[in-house]
Structure 1
Amino acid sequence: MTISPQQHSNSPERSSGNVELNGSALTFSGDWTLANYTILARLVEQVQRNNLSNVSLEVSQLGRVDTAGASLLVKLAGSTALVHALRVSDLGTEQTALITTVASAMEATEHPAPKSNPILAFLASTGEKVTAVARLAWLLAGFIGETLATLFYILPRPSRWRFTPFVAAVHDTGLNALPIVALLTFLVGAVVAFLGATVLQDFGATIYTVNLVAFSFLREFGVLLAAILLAGRTASSFTAHIGAMKVNEELDAIRTLGLNPVELLVVPKVLAMMVSLPVLTFVGMISGMIGGAVVCAITLEIPPSQYMAIVERDIGLTHFLVGIGKAPVFAFLIAVIGCLEGFKVSGSAQSVGEHTTSSVVQSIFMVILLDSIAALFFMEMGW
């Protein structure tokens, strides 16, 4: 059976395509182009009414083919059978590549991806997040090792010490942060004292408000509030500084000069943080206890002299040492995370902003996590 375009058009503008069905052979010939699309579409519809199962395709007689004609070929013959016929034919390379590309695109459209199982999707998403956290922990551990190796390398070599960046970082992270740390801890101390007095008043034990404020600030609030403030204020500054240098290719210039960016940029910042945070923690402890003393003096009529006498009598030195001992560890982690996120900047302003936010979130998370672990450890040890 032969179906030709002349049955539908008496005078085609150019040599139109043709399809011939002889027994179990389906032969394509002529030009399958957009100019003949209407005629070819009718031919395809007529041929599709016949049984086309187990037919062989012959495409070697095809002339010019464009995407419109190729889509009709795929619609009639099927993508798999058509691609197989193209492989065994001697059709031109350009026509073969075009028809194969259209067949692949139409096959992907005809067979959409099956709907995923919500449970499997949730498990896959959870696995990806766990993998990302593990990769982040691995990078952080490696960067901590590199920082410590560089630090131990330069400590016995005073000629490699960089005092100017260290002093500048201490001024930025410590002295400039002193007012905000003192103000915040003073206000939190006042709030803790007020809440403690409100609750303990029902039991006639308002005098223990002094113990509550002193105990909480010496062990937890002093170091925790100072560390969180530095995580938001200083870790972001470190990330933005190093990230901007990477965007401007200054880190590449440092390496070209034979210098170590970790020694030049990271070590002074880490040491400055380890000096500044213990000082800020001490200031936070004193300010929080002063805020509690003000509330006790105003609402509970406990004079400052009695307040200090209770602190001296009931609060041991161990609580102060526990709080101040956590400060260098928190400072080291905050500084390392801030610097690492700066080195991870990819080279755009958007990346600088994303990693700056990431450094703040990671620093605060690590500080609270380690503080929780330390609290459980010290409680079990009875310290």
Structure 2
Amino acid sequence: MTEPGHIDQQDDRLAISGDWILPHYATLKRRVEGLAKIREPSSLGIDLSQIADLDTAGATLLMELVGSEQLAAIDDWAPALPAPRRALLRTLGEAMVGHSPPALRPARPVRDFLAETGQRVDGLWQQQRQLLGFIGLTLATLAATLWHPRRWRPTAVVAQVHQTGLNALPIVALLTFLVGAVVAFLGATVLRDFGATIYTVNLVAFAFLREFGVLLAAILLAGRTASAFTAQLGAMKANEELDAIRTLGLDPMELLVLPRVLALMLTLPILTFVGMLSGILGGALVCLVALDISAVQFVAILERDIAVQHFLVGIGKAPLFAFVVAVIGCLEGFKVSGSAQSVGEHTTSSVVQSIFMVILLDALAALFFMEMGW
């Protein structure tokens, strides 16, 4: 069993003895740090003749003790040390001359916060620039393909319509039905205090025809379809299928992106219409059960008070939302670097971006229609 090395101070001289090897690194480290707190070791004479064993871990601690410059000149002040040990210490000292340990940066919370904020803003700006560029590339590819019917891919579009639209109908209908019931309950609770529960019908109709029908359907597609687009294209990129497509002389934008964008632009208006009907049906059920408003009276109020322009406003936003969701999903798929972790990160990013852009565009559209009086 070896004993850890010792540091004995004798007047103006340090006597280094014992084993300076990796198993004793923690003990030796404490001794070196303790001596450094009391006195500057490099100002003392060093005696290394009593070292029993030495490896690179011990040599590193000796460098911390005496300094890299003094260790590089070990041939001058420790000629009695065996040649292999002198070579080890000299090589380490020469390698570390001029390389001082990095100083700890003082904490600057305000500066760090501002720097991180700037980095995030710059990252958001770069992200939006990429999105605008990809939107332009998608529109250019669509314009180039539109006048060449032989390059259309109706089979791919129909397949994507089935996956993104038909399979999403049940969840969209169920969600909007439940939200419609919640909106009717909330409206009845508030309007009851004013004796105006009859206007719950108007509240539900306005909410779902203008906002909730298209917004809920778009958010569901952002979470369900945009993530699927990103995962599919990301897996294809990881498997080098996109490179194979380009090698065959085909355009991934025309082959993979356009069918998905067109399919989503076809399916979201249909899902929006289904969401409108389901939400109004949920509100009608609450009115029938809780407010004693019959189905005939409910429909009569809709026909009398709700103009068709509210339906057109809601359904008109659907293609725009669908285009944005599809483009973001495809763009994030192309940005995947190849690893499974990258696929997961960009899938999450596509969902977050899609939902954010849908809500942002919906807010801007609401302000625009309000100013226009539509």
- TM-score w.r.t. the length of structure 2 is 0.80
Larger Rg: 1
Of 129, 148, 156, the match for 1:157: 148
What is the aligned length?
332
Judge conservation of contact 2:59–2:88 (CA < 8 Å) in 1.
Answer: no
Give the match's secondary structure for 2:174: helix
Judge conservation of contact 2:181–2:283 (CA < 8 Å) in 1.
Answer: yes
1:191 aligns with 2:182: yes
Residue 340 of structure 1 and its aligned partner are, at CA, apart by 0.8
Map 1:249-260 to 2 at 5 A.
249-260=240-251
- Which residue is equivalent to 1:27? none
- Mind listing any 5+ residue stretches in structure 1 that lack a counterpart? 1-7, 9-20, 22-32, 53-64, 87-91
Give the match's secondary structure for 2:255: helix
- Which residue is equivalent to 1:18? none
Of 160, 165, 184, the match for 1:169: 160
Pair 1:201–1:94, CA change in 2 (3 A): same
1:98 aligns with 2:89: no
Distance in 2, Cα, partners of 1:291 & 1:73: 78
Map 1:1-383 to 2 at 5 A.
67=56, 68-69=58-59, 72=62, 75-76=65-66, 78-79=67-68, 98-103=92-97, 107-108=100-101, 111-383=102-374
Pair 1:97–1:322, CA change in 2 (3 A): farther
Residue 100 of structure 1 and its aligned partner are, at CA, apart by 3.5
Deviations along 1:13-55, one digit per CA (max 9) or x if unpaired, are xxxxxxxx9xxxxxxxxxxx969xx9xx9xx99x968968xxx
Pair 1:70–1:205, CA change in 2 (3 A): closer
Judge conservation of contact 2:214–2:317 (CA < 8 Å) in 1.
Answer: yes
Distance in 1, Cα, partners of 2:363 & 2:42: 76
Residue 102 of structure 1 and its aligned partner are, at CA, apart by 3.6
Judge conservation of contact 2:333–2:346 (CA < 8 Å) in 1.
Answer: yes
Judge conservation of contact 2:231–2:347 (CA < 8 Å) in 1.
Answer: yes
Residue 221 of structure 1 and its aligned partner are, at CA, apart by 0.3
Deviations along 1:316-354, one digit per CA (max 9) or x if unpaired, are 112111111110010001001111111111111222122
Distance in 1, Cα, partners of 2:87 & 2:252: 54
Residue 104 of structure 1 and its aligned partner are, at CA, apart by 5.6
Question: Which stretch has the larger CA shift, 152-161 or 191-200?
Answer: 191-200
Residue 303 of structure 1 and its aligned partner are, at CA, apart by 1.3
Judge conservation of contact 1:71–1:102 (CA < 8 Å) in 2.
Answer: no
The code of the aligned residue for 2:152 comes to W
Judge conservation of contact 1:226–1:280 (CA < 8 Å) in 2.
Answer: yes
RMSD: 3.4
Judge conservation of contact 2:226–2:351 (CA < 8 Å) in 1.
Answer: yes
- TM-score w.r.t. the length of structure 1 is 0.78
Question: Which stretch has the larger CA shift, 94-103 or 240-249?
Answer: 94-103
Distance in 1, Cα, partners of 2:42 & 2:72: 21
- Which residue is equivalent to 2:80? none
- Mind listing any 5+ residue stretches in structure 2 that lack a counterpart? 1-7, 14-18, 22-27, 45-53, 76-85
Give the match's secondary structure for 1:177: helix
Give the match's secondary structure for 2:302: helix
Distance in 2, Cα, partners of 1:196 & 1:84: 87
